[in-house]
Amino acid sequence: MRYQFTDVASSLEWSPDGEYILIAVDKRAQAFVKSIQEPEWQCKIDEGLAGLAGCLWAPTSRHVITVSEFNVRLTVWSMIDKSIQYI
């Protein structure tokens, strides 16, 4: 017997400049960023135990904003220097 597990994307959003795609998988508390110009480039965002209620692009197209479950924490993830800022 063969099992196949698939994740369901809860949201899909283009960056404001159209160079990246943001894919959220709320069930796993993760988001993924893929580059259109460089297919081998990718980024994985993991909120861990805080959970993921939602994510969106910042106007810069180089930062992703995530909101944890119960709106406890807002996180800004930089695609430029991999820095993370919590609010």
Helix (H) or strand (E) holding 31: strand 30-35
Residue that is written with structure tokens 């969106």 in the block: 56
* Res 2: pLDDT: 62
CATH T-level topology, domain 11-86: Thrombin, subunit H (2.40.10)
Domain ranges of the chain: 11-86
pTM listed for this prediction: 0.86
| Average model confidence (pLDDT) across the chain | 91
Buried b (16+ CB within 10 A) or exposed e, 39-50: eeeebebebeeb
In 3D, which of 42, 44, 41 has the Cα closest to residue 24? Answer: 44
Above pLDDT 90, what percent of the chain? 78
pLDDT digits (tens, 9 = 90+) for 49-72: 989 999 999 999 999 999 999 888
In 3D, which of 50, 35, 40 has the Cα closest to residue 84? Answer: 50
Residue that is written with structure tokens 């939602």 in the block: 54
Q: Mapping DSSP to helix (H, G, I), strand (E, B) and coil, where does residue 36 land?
A: coil
